[in-house]
A and B are shown apart, each in its own frame.
Chain A
């Protein structure tokens, strides 16, 4: 089974950087790593994805370990609007989201 593991919850102070970790112990060579977030009462929304190299976009940065067994989503300056559940996935034949990491941002 293509599964990822994440901490259940994390806290961050507003305007501080946040590093959200994910373990991809069963990842295969062709699996992409995706990150999504889910705001309260909404469907998940795409944040970022990558294969081997670190990636940046307007929302966040994605750091991928050299062995690809772990990845880190980096929010450079957390805002109150970033409070959400963050999911990491690895794509194979099935998209496993799990229960994600609930991020609390403290004003």
Chain B
């Protein structure tokens, strides 16, 4: 298995631009998670899906952030418009069943908003 795949690995954009991050979970996993990591706040859960349905989006910082999972093998996290404070590493993770099973993380997307 290729593991969780994220693209792009690095993204540099200007303030106000739309940013779309992509994730392909491990085949067969039914939970997908989006995290954001910064030095100040550590690793934070943004949103997670179960069977493609958003279950908890209380970690999404504001309306500029949105996430979708149109099918079991693809998810996107969109920021529109982007701001410098959105600069962080964004991780996608997937797991089987969620509660008692380990999450497998992707390599992350390092986003820099100038």
Contact = CB atoms under 8 A, between A and B. Distances in A.
Chain A partners chain B: yes
A43 B105 contact: yes
Interface residues of B, number: 25
A43 B102 contact: no
B10 to A, nearest CB: 12
Interface of B: 4, 33, 35, 41-45, 48, 55-56, 58-59, 91, 93, 98-100, 102-108
Contacts of B103: 34, 36, 44, 46, 95
B45 A46 contact: no
B57 to A, nearest CB: 11
Contacts of B41: 99
Which secondary structure dominates chain A's binding surface? loop
Nearest to A92: B99
Given A94-B58, A94-B59, A46 B102 contact: yes
Interface residues of A, number: 22
Contacts of A45: 105
Interface of A: 30, 32, 34, 36, 38, 42-46, 49, 51, 87, 91, 93-100
A96 B91 contact: no
A96 to B, nearest CB: 7
